[in-house]
Chains A and B, each alone.
Chain A
Amino acid sequence: DGGITQSPKYLFRKEGQNVTLSCEQNLNHDAMYWYRQDPGQGLRLIYYSQIVNDFQKGDIAEGYSVSREKKESFPLTVTSAQKNPTAFYLCASSIDSFQETQYFGPGTRLLVL
């Protein structure tokens, strides 16, 4: 899991603003994932990518967008359409989607001003 980094650690969003969360991995993993964690709740899947240049919606994709132009990078944009963005965002990766073990990044806490 030390091979996955997320930045920034804290991010503040103004109303109507789009913000982008960074996720980078140097593990040569094909699959990457974005989760949202709210207090007292489990992790919910936002988007996932099984291979570069491909990504799929997860369970709560509305108000979010992603790209996967490089194998090592999977940025998440929280758009103004996401009305309740305050949460802890976790990125994860696995060797590929068939290899079950997912390794998590340190997370980004997004707060709304």
Chain B
Amino acid sequence: GENVEQHPSTLSVQEGDSAVIKCTYSDSASNYFPWYKQELGKRPQLIIDIRSNVGEKKDQRIAVTLNKTAKHFSLHITETQPEDSAVYFCAARWVDSSYKLIFGSGTRLLVRP
């Protein structure tokens, strides 16, 4: 069935260290994988996305990698800062008539000063 699993559920890192969040998806036809950042009580904000025709994408301190064979993708944040603290959600786009996004359950990232 439609499913995106996300790990870990919580992650605590020291400021300046790297953080990695991993997701696996079930639909081998999925072709779009966004990552959203949500601060407490706020709307999710798209921070980076990747399509299935590329294996890696970077934007400053943020990178996403995709392994289509294994059906998993990961978010990498380098040189973490306290303002990176938030809940991060991965998603995969379902390839049927709905083109809907299936979201992971979220990772709460805490960056300790």
Chain A residues proximal to chain B, CB less than 8 Å? 1, 33, 35, 40-45, 48, 56, 58-59, 90, 97-98, 100-107
Question: Would A100 and B49 count as touching, CB distance under 8 A?
Answer: yes
Residue of A59, A102, A106, A107 ringed by the most chain B CB atoms within 10 A: A102
Nearest chain A CB to B23's CB is how many angstroms away? Answer: 10
In the complex, the chain B residue whose C-beta lies closest to that of A6 is B43
Instruction: Please tell me the size bucket of the interface on B.
Output: 20 to 34
Chain B residues proximal to chain A, CB less than 8 Å? 2, 4, 6, 9, 32, 34, 36, 41-46, 49, 51, 89, 93, 98-101, 103-106
Question: Would B99 and A98 count as touching, CB distance under 8 A?
Answer: yes
Q: Determine which of B2, B98, B105, B106 lies in contact with A48 in the assembled complex, contact meaning CB atoms within 8 Å.
A: B98
Question: Would A43 and B98 count as touching, CB distance under 8 A?
Answer: no
Nearest chain B CB to A19's CB is how many angstroms away? Answer: 20
